[in-house]
Structure 1
């Protein structure tokens, strides 16, 4: 069973926002989720009904098909897949509702209890389905192909089967697979929950007033350097005070992964992620190597420019996301943010804006920061017969507008892919960031075209470069940190100092010589949720940014059919490999030069900023 409680998330960087209520906060009333399209309430009779349906459907599925998959003809195999997909849909609806309620307030014990109890029930009920993948993978390739290829209605599920059968060399015995399924709700999932609840419960007092993590991170984007420094030092103090707990979470999860990987004979800690993403390891390594080689001409060069703009000999970590001195310090109200993004989407294609509008009007966005609410932002696809939900933490900063554009891109993608059905709509992470980053690029380009002065253009270009560095350079540095962490953990328990040292080894390399790192920054790995929830997820952001930069270059070149091709790509969901999806645009991510093309766009923006300095 693959119903997920973890949505597609943004990288949690200091672009996060903060207010303490979803009411009118000075930038207009902010929307809250209306979850009634899933269920009306946690005690709704439909929840008990659907739990009963899942339990019965799983038992019936096992009684009908266990031990018989290899003997099924094509019509029977198609019926089997449809039955499995229906179980995914019902269980996915239950877990989406519980998960979204939980993320609204992770410190609410009732919500935490509700999601845990539901997860345990769904895990128990779906235990009889473990045989499905195991038996499917034992069918000889020739016999499997003969059954699947005989009917286009079944053959359309081939990408699902391909991803499933890619796990064949790493499959364990039936008993061990059932054991892993049964213990999942109280294994890694429990450590994930401990991390979420701890992060949501942290409080910071950089200026005397008690603030959440979001509010404190937001101070790192203030004009006043003293406020930024106070926030950074308070973050370091609180992370340091909790570092043993965060170290325990990471040690336990890394060891848990190492044990499972060892039993499955996975060649590397990254293998499972690459298989899930349906991406070749050499493609990821080509991306990683291209980005690391580009550090000097991207982040190192840009931050040296920023050092000069801020009039500093060296940058401190609290200067990384500082606004430029000439940047306007105005708050962007929600209505303006909405119009900015919708206009940018409509400028690309009116259909894109039409698909995004219901998110604003129908309770599909939760925008305000409230006590206990999960940090960062994400888009959750829920299930294909409902709709996605977007979570933000909106304060009215320009970067919050770009986050809105990003998450709405996810939402539009998920709406379009829903037509593929429950199993084929799930886009691999490497392609899941395509529409979100493209939505950001459309919004940025619209704002850049509207710039009236050189200073306005400079601020917009600098902001975009910083976002791209956060999405590409910073995320590849995160990926290298994870690789080092999991490799080191295989040699034994890591102390907090050990993990801190690994973090600093990638930070200095990626950010460059313009920076001086304060004492305490070595603990900033502690709050990044991707390391806990989705090991090695982070390269997907760099993959998506590079892919979109290459795509946008094709769009700018005036491909007359670009919009139609683009919508077809989003509608495909997870039904095609990245090579097949990019072929209509003349792009190939397996070509090492592909990544240099994407990185060249970032370098070109820095060239323009340098030219503005010389003018």
Structure 2
């Protein structure tokens, strides 16, 4: 039946549904599990967000003592004043230590429920569900992490150099997000629009025309006003084939990059417009492809047009922070979650043991290059508490390196690449990720060679950073 003209276009998704159905329990059991999830599983996730939302952090900023929310306190990690960054960091650490038992209880209950469902469905490998959801196999994930692990030395070099610039021998946790230089460059929204369109046009006519349309018909809510969320996102409306972007534009280069990033998401939605709804659901590891690609275009263009060495250094540091997050931070999150779930199978994992697992994972992820890292990261990282999807970490690293490889191809081929790029985006919901990459890039992502190419580009950034700061 799947080989008939009507069903063949949906062959992949129908086989995927069949595979998932084989894992399901009886209808009555599935109904019971779903009912229990509402007041059990998902309720713990909601309780976590309520608990985080109720916390207030008392910090002195610019001579005034303020009572801040957790997100506001975390945002101080990029404050220009090191003392403010430091005070914010340690104030938060005190709170996590004080409330660690509550967070440990929430995390244990979420993991315990998930493991019980896995047991019922006869899933022995805790990675089976996240791998299936991301449409990749374990061989691919293993190849990616092996390459990441083998190539951390250059990024340790970057962290050490940046630490030296702050007068330390080792990178302090509270200094990682600090801007390397205080850039006072202000970029008006209209200037950002023109800059983005100018450089998108070098990579594709459709990308430029679509983005111009988004700006002209005002699909973007970018006003900077009081009490507005700092989070940026792109919402897709599949029936109308439109998107809407929400962000707060503050006249900084980082805002320009965010704008380009969200436009990339909107372009992915636009590319899927002609695809039947059943084949539009692409996995998370592909979700950041178009957004990171668009951001890379503007980041590189900004570096080329930088009017001073300080401005270029600021941008290069922004770029390298993304690499460190994906190669070191995300790796540590993956290691923590993998080890925590294995221990949770034997029973409740204490808060002190969670601290130990986190400390081990961070040391391995960063190869010991961080001074006094937050052993309470398991408490304040919201990704661990997402009940919809486990292991909400490795898809970020996957998407980042994958986008770099696509960007390298685009630079090589210029506008000619847009046709292949659009075809890749359109097929992103109707085949395995391995098949998608073989078909459109001719690359084998189960091979370490593929991942080496992406990381190579980031290593060059480190070399440039070292040269500029010598």
- TM normalised by structure 2 equals 0.90
- Which residue does 1:604 correspond to in 2? 460
RMSD: 2.5
Cα gap change, 1:277 to 1:203, in 2 (>3 Å): same
The offset of 1:586, in angstroms, is 2.7
Trace 1:483-494 onto structure 2 (pairs within 5 A).
483-494=338-349
Aligned residues of 2:228 and 2:248 also touching (Cα < 8 A) = no
Trace 1:410-489 onto structure 2 (pairs within 5 A).
410-489=265-344
Cα gap change, 1:365 to 1:239, in 2 (>3 Å): farther
Trace 1:163-562 onto structure 2 (pairs within 5 A).
163-207=16-60, 208-298=65-155, 300-324=156-180, 326-330=181-185, 332-357=187-212, 361-365=217-221, 376-385=231-240, 387-392=242-247, 395-517=250-372, 521-533=374-386, 534-558=389-413, 561-562=416-417
The offset of 1:441, in angstroms, is 0.6
Trace 1:127-138 onto structure 2 (pairs within 5 A).
none
Q: Could you tell me which runs of 5 or more consecutive residues in structure 1 were left unpaired when the two chains were aligned.
A: 1-146
Cα gap change, 1:239 to 1:292, in 2 (>3 Å): same
Q: Which runs of 4+ in 1 moved over 6 A?
A: none
Cα gap change, 1:423 to 1:186, in 2 (>3 Å): farther
Aligned residues of 1:163 and 1:278 also touching (Cα < 8 A) = no
Aligned residues of 2:44 and 2:110 also touching (Cα < 8 A) = yes
- Which residue does 1:592 correspond to in 2? 448
Deviations 1:153-206 (A, max 9, x none): 321111211221232552322321222233333332222222233333432221
Q: 1:575 aligns with which of 430, 436, 448?
A: 430
**Higher Cα Rg, which structure:** 1
How many residues are treated as equivalent by the alignment? 462
Aligned residues of 1:345 and 1:353 also touching (Cα < 8 A) = yes
Cα gap change, 1:203 to 1:423, in 2 (>3 Å): farther
- SS of 2:201's equivalent in the other structure is helix
The offset of 1:516, in angstroms, is 1.5
The offset of 1:279, in angstroms, is 0.7
Q: How far apart are the structure 1 equivalents of 2:402 and 2:409?
A: 11
Q: Could you tell me which runs of 5 or more consecutive residues in structure 2 were left unpaired when the two chains were aligned.
A: none
- TM normalised by structure 1 equals 0.70
Cα gap change, 1:338 to 1:195, in 2 (>3 Å): farther
Q: How far apart are the structure 1 equivalents of 2:225 and 2:99?
A: 23
Cα gap change, 1:454 to 1:243, in 2 (>3 Å): same
Which shifted more, 492-501 or 169-178? 169-178
Q: How far apart are the structure 2 equivalents of 1:233 and 1:611?
A: 33
The offset of 1:295, in angstroms, is 2.0
Aligned residues of 1:420 and 1:573 also touching (Cα < 8 A) = no
